[in-house]
Structure 1
Amino acid sequence: MRMPEPNRQQPDGQIVIRGARTHNLKNIDLTLPQERLIIVTGVSGSGKSSLAFDTVYAEGQRRYVESLSAYARQFLERMEKPDVDRIEGICPAIAIRQKNSVRNPRSTVGTTTEIYDYLRLLFARVGRTICRGCGVEVTRETPEAVAGRLAALPDGTRLLVGFVHAVDASAVAAALDGLRRKGFGRLHVDGRAVSFDDLDPEALAGSDALQVVVDRIRAAAAARPRLTEAIETAYQEGGGNAFAVEVGGAEPARHEFSERFECRPCGMAYEEPQPTLFSFNSPFGACPTCHGFGNVIELDMRLVVPDETKSIAQGAVEPWTKPHYRSHLADLKRAARRRDIRMTVPWSELSDEERRFVIEGDGAGYDGIRGFFSALERKKYKVHVRVFLSRYRGYRACADCGGTRLRREARDVRVGGRTIDEIAGFTVAAACRFFEDLTLSAKETAIAERVIREIRRRVGFLSGVGLDYLTLDRLSSTLSGGEAQRINLATSLGSSLVGTLYVLDEPSIGLHPRDNERLIRILGQLRDQGNTVLVVEHDADMIRASDYVVDLGLGAGTRGGRVVYAGGLDGLSRETTSLTAKYLRGDLAIPIPAARRRRLPNSQALRVRGAAEHNLKGIDVEIPLNMLTCVTGVSGSGKSTLVHDVMYAAVKRAKGAWEKRVGAHDGIDGVELLNDVVLVDQTPIGRTPRSNPVTYLKAFDPIRELFAATRAARARGFSPSHFSFNVPGGRCDACEGEGEVRVEMQFLADVFMPCEQCDGKRFKPQVLEVTWRGLRVDEVLD
């Protein structure tokens, strides 16, 4: 692979680290060049993250936050000082981790990268509102625009410009007096202007509207200012409406105008485009039904009838298999006998009429599934009823906005023939093509040029980090850790910050080799903007593209934490003690198995039919059992969708351990050959500050039982729970088993001090008096 040539110019400054001892770092000294692409590598557990994140990033972030006012610091993340003697030349730091921490259900790829903000501005400035009734563009008829149209009539055309004045039929005379006091003196009657003095009040009796003439003008270019003034007056007095009548011809021609933003032929009013109209985070722009979420929670029949291969008699209606609600199944069976509903055929083979009867009921004693849940809704003040209802509810696309999240008026505005929700539904690659091909008028281009340039730039960054396949309306919460990291990387490029330290955690994980070169190029651009880029990485291509390499080792844990090599790539290739260098030179390599398991004909397999979730195209997949199978493909090809959303969820559902939605597929065969299915992903396993490997693996349970079985423990009446730091009894009451106490420092970073009561040992003194083979329980944990 051809790599971009690194910038070899001498750095302007250095980051000097002295005496770093965070975690397993062995009091290391290190000097890093600024404005360079620096790779920190080494075996897993050698201290890479401890150096990059827990030392360099932590100190950079801490110093930046502490440079702010005390008022501002209380709103920002506070970090404790890393265990290091000194760090010099540190820059404000930004960490881009392999972690998706976004939980906001409104956040999307477009909003995270601010592309959607620029889209809203684009549509507000140059968007064209199209009438949903007749398809005509809706415009606001300003006095200047109306005057221009009237002035363009043939020279000398006689015009009566006026407005319609609503009156009470019994008070026409009083209305005329009021108009006379305002300076008006003529009405339009039967195609001509008639003075108030020449009017017959009796002839106007019973009228509910008077057509008041503001001015009589002959059309000409020079009359445009006078026309503008007359239309302004007509708008002001006529509630935003005006008219102009051509007189003197064979048949008077009437023109009507409105300064309101509405379609004149249809009489339908529209909202004038503004940025908040296109925001689903604003009550003004959000769909009033789903409040900008794009979906609503309601009864999900796929959860009510999870297995369509079962018949009603076999318990296809899952909630009625519960002992408490079996009486409703009996009601259904009685009603079904009266209506000849088939009870012994699979649910999938019932006719639409039969299903409708089961779901909706007959209104004559049988209320149906919906009636059953409606009755439960009235009892949801009870906790167990709410829990029961939640098991059968699911998200469905909002019927009013179709999942677009926006109100109807926002979806009437178009740019380049597309609405904003259509553009948000584009993939990054499609959005690139759309904005490259977008053609606007000269006036629109002058208005929107900078906005479009910024959109193209940010979309290009997303494409550059290998995310062409993501749609702009993809929920941020559904992204993998690697995708979230690359989106944050693209956002950082878009922000154009300089003099910043960026720390990244293995950005090449989950990235197909096809996209690796593009990622390296993006990191190079970030560096060339004047930033220092520090990357924890194992990838050989990334290491070869670096300006500076720090190799930690030699081993992991207590055997790691030392700097094996720090310098350019050429020097690393000559390093004899570095394990990384040996793999780069080819001295060591992962051996490819000489012999592989061969799949026998007609061997057992798990078969998925018609998988069609997300971008899967109704595929059939066969996974052989008792073999190691690898599912691979370019980023966004559907690997996680197939394995996680379809296969894993379907097997779990078949085993009765999955109540969530299963990815779309026709069927799955071979589930009976499996005892269980386990998903191992990158989700953090710890849920509490006390969680550690020995508790997560349940290995601490037998350890506690060993201590509880000792003679000293039995004499004191200790049970296994006394040797747990998670429950009261044997744990230290002061620190609640955490071993340290947090000291609130108001605006400064909180300080964690060893507990004075237990001296960091987590347990009460009497518990620590119990030993097993000479070891206390805290010593076993250490």
Structure 2
Amino acid sequence: MSDSIKITGARQNNLKNVSLEIPRDRFVVVTGLSGSGKSSLVFDTIYAEGQRRYVESLSSYARQFLGIMDKPDVDSIDGLSPAISIDQKSTSRNPRSTVATVTEIYDYLRLLFARVGVPHCPAPLPDGKHCGKPVQRRTAQSIIDEIMKLPEGAKLMILAPIVSRKKGEFQYIPEQYMRSGFARARVDGVVYALDEFPELQKSYKHDIELVVDRLVMRPDMISRVSQSVEQSLELAGGIVQVLDADSSKILTYSQRYACVDHPGEEIPELEPRLFSFNAPQGACPVCTGLGTRMEIDPSLVFNKNLTIAEGAIRPFNRFSVDAWYMKRLEAVAAEHGFSLHVPVRELSDDVRKLLMYGTGEQKYRVELGNGRHYDSTFEGIIPNLERRHRETDSDFMRKDIERFMRERKCTACKGTRLKPVVLAVTVSGLSIMDICNLDVENALDVFSQLKFDDNEMKIVKLVVKEINARLGFMNNVGLNYLELGRAANTLSGGEAQRIRLATQIGSGLQGVLYVLDEPSIGLHQRDNDRLIKTLKHLRDLGNTVLVVEHDEETIAAADFLVDVGPGAGVHGGEIVAAGTPAEVAQNPASITGRYLSGAEKISVPKKRRAVEKDRKLVVRGAKENNLKNIDVEFPLGVMTLVTGVSGSGKSTLVNDIVANELTARLHRAQTVPGDHDRIDGVKQLDKAIVIDQSAIGRTPRSNPATYTGVFTQIRELFANTPEANIRGYKAGRFSFNVKGGRCENCQGDGVIKIEM
């Protein structure tokens, strides 16, 4: 096997026919100015060719599912391994993905809880809490022993509940069970002979129990009781009821997971899918496992400066005064003594509440004109919008209503995503969501202290080992602060990249080319050393680690350094220097080398812009996530930097609180700000712009000119030339997105696809 990767004649993008030899099984860093051609060399050439060759080695059947990358513009690449890219672009946007699911930790947690979890009774109590008693399956023998303890002489009926709270007529029951030798059934609390089975209304829910045996309790009846109990358990799927004829008291026994005090609150069979919020067995039925749901925001409903007659109800401001809904509002206003011609801000809180939530079943006389009228209820603005959003099949209608909605934590599951019955299963006193609410560091402590008996340890030994390994890898790449239940779509590009890096280390692959894009981005200098150790560990497994990086510590730690430049764009695309960091530092042609050697350095500005003390944005009582009720002042008109170690709360403060609050107040965005008391000084701002790491191009034709809007001016410039005027060309003629000006052979893509 070759001990190096040899690239010859690379011309992808701005690369100028470069040739380079990179050592294999080493930690290699590629650096250079922004736009110099680093990514063109590493991702668009080396990785693309490595991935393409590997996919081409598979069968044609497998290739159709993977998709093959375009061949890069390069003469040859020798010594290449199968390549895996860990970049910052492929963060999951799925709202169901969490840190635990993308690292597969959640899969192992589901297996752990399904095998050694202890179920507890989820029955709600009057004080709002849950019963919480540990529940176990009852064996047939324990049920028999319990019944035999009943007082001698008690008149008992042993029942098999075959229908429980179900609608229907159930006329098949008499014939079916009379053939099996049964004579009686208890229907909705009344005992009937099967040949006198009542006619039931199919629109009502019914309870039906077969009378398996009737007896007067004596100590010598254990054989008869055993036979009757086992027959009932078989007929009713593991449930038997005992009715005391004198007191009419019913005792319910179950072979399923159920509490003695609440036999009706059963816990289903413990299996991994029960603990999944992506499966109907475990997901909260209200939010379907998302943990959040769209709800009408009352603050978006009214324009308080207008009257209702002028269109103050924003969702209905297109209705005319004569519209039927407005006539109904007039009837409500007349009944409750308020006017539709008064600004909403002057209406009382009770009236605004009445308008938003309705008046239940109260009837109103709605005048339709010409002596006609109609009696109607008033359901309220918010229930009306929620119903229409739920029932409509129109995407336009749904999106129109969603303008007045915000995403909020699900009130049914409190954001846990799971049913109460699932959260009632614990391991060492913790539910699966209790563990997901821990950060990586605390989760490591919990799993290092878990105790299991010998039988349980045989079952979960490998499961706990895998969980600890993945937590350890995440801790080593500086992600110890991340909660396992944190949504994956809230992670920064750097965090998502380091999660995938930890997952790859856990895979234990050897002989692979790993390609990474600035893994240190967003990482505090304190955690850099751990990241570098992780990258070297990946190398020591027998892999080549190729990193595009600007961080000085990472560059200095490299086994081999490649400097691409000397400038950006057309002024770059060349290999300026290649060798060890010490060799590059001595190369006078390398800008990176001059900074490494200390010949050049970034000077601290001597003069800074003055801060106006009166112009500031003040956050009061920030309490979201790990913020401890802090007050923060941000001066306006200057550049302010928020820094701190990874996980200290920077993003929570800036993004979750400040950005979300400003976009909600200034632009009526649907974002929900993090927990805080208030923000002062917002009136000094007229807009808030959030610049994040999300991709900007939505179509293959997008480019910097179209995204920035410059291309519109360019097209208008060409449309105003004399030749364009003579030919009658408008600005649209110079667009590659519409017919007329674009090349119809490629339809404006610039490339054509040829079936091979």
With the shorter chain as reference, the TM-score category is: 0.7 to 0.9
Instruction: Indicate whether 1:136 and 2:133 are aligned.
Output: yes
Is this contact kept in 2: 1:342–1:350, CA < 8 A? no
Is this contact kept in 2: 1:123–1:420, CA < 8 A? yes
Q: Which residue of 1 aligns with 2:692?
A: 681
Q: Which residue of 2 aligns with 1:712?
A: 723
2:433 alignment partner AA: D
Distance 2:571 2:679 in 1: 48
Q: Which residue of 2 aligns with 1:288?
A: 285
Distance 2:237 2:610 in 1: 84
TM-score (norm 2): 0.79
Distance 1:22 1:311 in 2: 60
Structure 2 residue corresponding to 1:86, chosen from 76, 79, 86: 76
Q: Deviation at 1:478?
A: 1.8
Change beyond 3 A, Cα 1:265–1:28: same
SS at match of 1:741: coil
Is this contact kept in 2: 1:129–1:414, CA < 8 A? yes
Matches within 5 A, 1:297-312: 297-304=294-301
Distance 1:516 1:432 in 2: 21
SS at match of 1:432: helix
Is this contact kept in 1: 2:254–2:263, CA < 8 A? no
Instruction: Indicate whether 1:405 and 2:417 are aligned.
Output: yes
Distance 1:729 1:445 in 2: 72
Q: Which residue of 2 aligns with 1:725?
A: 736
Q: Which residue of 2 aligns with 1:20?
A: 10
Change beyond 3 A, Cα 1:17–1:322: same
Structure 1: segments with no counterpart, 5+ residues: 1-10, 151-162, 177-185, 196-209, 215-229, 244-254, 746-782
Is this contact kept in 1: 2:159–2:240, CA < 8 A? no
Aligned pairs, number: 670
Matches within 5 A, 1:24-43: 24-43=14-33
Matches within 5 A, 1:304-703: 304=301, 319=314, 322-324=317-319, 331=329, 334=333, 338=337, 353=350, 355-362=352-359, 363=362, 365=364, 367-370=379-382, 372-373=384-385, 380=392, 385-600=397-612, 602-656=613-667, 658-703=669-714
Structure 2 residue corresponding to 1:193, chosen from 205, 209, 220: 220
Distance 1:390 1:175 in 2: 58
1:532 alignment partner AA: T
Moved more, 661-670 or 312-321: 312-321
Is this contact kept in 2: 1:18–1:86, CA < 8 A? yes
SS at match of 1:706: helix
Is this contact kept in 1: 2:616–2:681, CA < 8 A? yes
Change beyond 3 A, Cα 1:194–1:405: closer
Distance 2:452 2:119 in 1: 15
SS at match of 1:430: helix
Distance 1:296 1:41 in 2: 45
Structure 2 residue corresponding to 1:119, chosen from 96, 109, 128: 109
Is this contact kept in 2: 1:24–1:47, CA < 8 A? yes
Q: Deviation at 1:94?
A: 0.9
Is this contact kept in 1: 2:287–2:410, CA < 8 A? yes
TM-score (norm 1): 0.76
Distance 2:387 2:11 in 1: 63
2:79 alignment partner AA: G
Q: Deviation at 1:375?
A: 7.6
Residues 531-587 of structure 1, C-alpha deviations (whole Å, 9 max, x = no match): 211110010110111111111122222222222222222222322221111111111
Q: Deviation at 1:421?
A: 1.5
Q: Deviation at 1:431?
A: 1.1
Q: Deviation at 1:429?
A: 2.0
Residues 636-685 of structure 1, C-alpha deviations (whole Å, 9 max, x = no match): 33333333343334334444463544444443333343343333332322
Distance 1:95 1:526 in 2: 14
Is this contact kept in 2: 1:55–1:83, CA < 8 A? yes
Change beyond 3 A, Cα 1:429–1:329: farther
Is this contact kept in 2: 1:336–1:342, CA < 8 A? no
Change beyond 3 A, Cα 1:144–1:59: farther
SS at match of 2:220: strand
Instruction: Indicate whether 1:211 and 2:207 are aligned.
Output: no
Change beyond 3 A, Cα 1:603–1:91: same
Q: Deviation at 1:294?
A: 2.2
Is this contact kept in 1: 2:311–2:317, CA < 8 A? no
Change beyond 3 A, Cα 1:744–1:473: farther
Is this contact kept in 2: 1:280–1:405, CA < 8 A? yes
Change beyond 3 A, Cα 1:318–1:461: farther
SS at match of 2:224: strand
Distance 1:594 1:336 in 2: 71
SS at match of 1:538: coil
Matches within 5 A, 1:180-259: 190-193=217-220, 211-212=224-225, 240=238, 259=255
Structure 2: segments with no counterpart, 5+ residues: 124-130, 147-156, 162-173, 184-212, 242-250, 365-377
Residues 424-459 of structure 1, C-alpha deviations (whole Å, 9 max, x = no match): 122222211211222222322232122112111111
Larger radius of gyration: 1
SS at match of 1:211: helix
2:96 alignment partner AA: R
Moved more, 101-110 or 258-267: 258-267
Distance 2:679 2:517 in 1: 37
Q: Which residue of 2 aligns with 1:67?
A: 57
1:594 alignment partner AA: K
Is this contact kept in 1: 2:315–2:404, CA < 8 A? no
